[in-house]
Chains A and B, each alone.
Chain A
Amino acid sequence: MSPTTIDVAINVNGETHQVDVEPRTLLVHFIREQAGLTGTHTGCETGQCGACTVLLDGHAVKSCMVLAAQATGHEVMTIEGLATSADELHPLQTVFWEEHGLQCGYCTPGVLLSSLALLRDNPSPDDQQIRHALEGNICRCTGYHNIINAVRVAAEQLTPDQLSAQAATSEVR
Chain B
Amino acid sequence: MYPAPFDYHRATSVDDVLTLLAEHTDTAKLLAGGHSLLPVMKLRLAQPELLIDINDLDELRNISVEADHITIGAMVTHHTLATNPEIASAVSLLVEIAHVVGDQQVRNLGTIGGALAHADPAADYPAGMLALDASIVAMSANGERAIPIDEFFTGFLTTALEPAELLTAIRIPRTGDSFGAAYEKLANPASGYATVGIAVALTTDTAGEIDSIRIGVTGTGASAYRPTSVEEALIGSAGDNATLKAAVRTATDGIDVMEDKHGPADYRARVTQNLIRRAVFRALASANGA
Residues of A whose CB lies within 8 Å of any CB of B are: 1-4, 6, 22-24, 26, 45-48, 50, 53, 56, 59-62, 64-67, 69-70, 72, 114, 117-118, 132-137, 172-173
Contact = CB atoms under 8 A, between A and B. Distances in A.
Interface in B198-213: none
* Range class of the B interface residue count: 20 to 34
Contact of B103 (A2, A46, A69, A136): A136
B5 A24 contact: yes
A45 B42 contact: yes
Contacts of A134: 104
Nearest to A69: B8
29 contacts: A1-B4, A1-B6, A2-B6, A4-B7, A23-B6, A24-B4, A24-B5, A47-B35, A47-B38, A47-B39, A47-B106, A48-B191, A50-B103, A53-B105, A56-B108, A61-B109, A65-B34, A65-B39, A67-B53, A69-B10, A70-B31, A70-B53, A70-B55, A117-B104, A133-B104, A136-B102, A136-B104, A172-B77, A172-B109
Contacts of A173: 55
Contacts of B242: none
Given A1-B5, A48-B190, A69-B10, A62 B106 contact: yes
Contact of B104 (A47, A56, A60, A70): A60
B24 to A, nearest CB: 13
Contacts of A4: 7
* Residue among A24, A45, A69 with max Cβ neighbours from chain B (10 Å): A24
* Residue among A64, A67, A117, A132 with max Cβ neighbours from chain B (10 Å): A67
B5 A66 contact: no
A61 B8 contact: no
Nearest to B77: A172
A64 to B, nearest CB: 8
Interface in B7-54: 7-8, 10, 31, 34-35, 38-39, 42, 49, 51, 53
A23 B108 contact: no
Given A46-B39, A65-B38, 7 more contacts: A6-B8, A24-B5, A66-B34, A114-B104, A134-B104, A136-B105, A172-B108
B79 interface: yes
B192 interface: yes
B109 A65 contact: yes
Given A45-B42, A70-B55, A135-B192, A60 B108 contact: yes
Contacts, number: 95
A145 B191 CA distance: 21
B49 A2 contact: yes
B216 to A, nearest CB: 23
Contacts of A24: 2-6
The 8 A-B pairs at the shortest CB distance, nearest first, are namely A136-B103, A23-B8, A45-B1, A135-B103, A136-B105, A59-B108, A62-B105, A1-B5
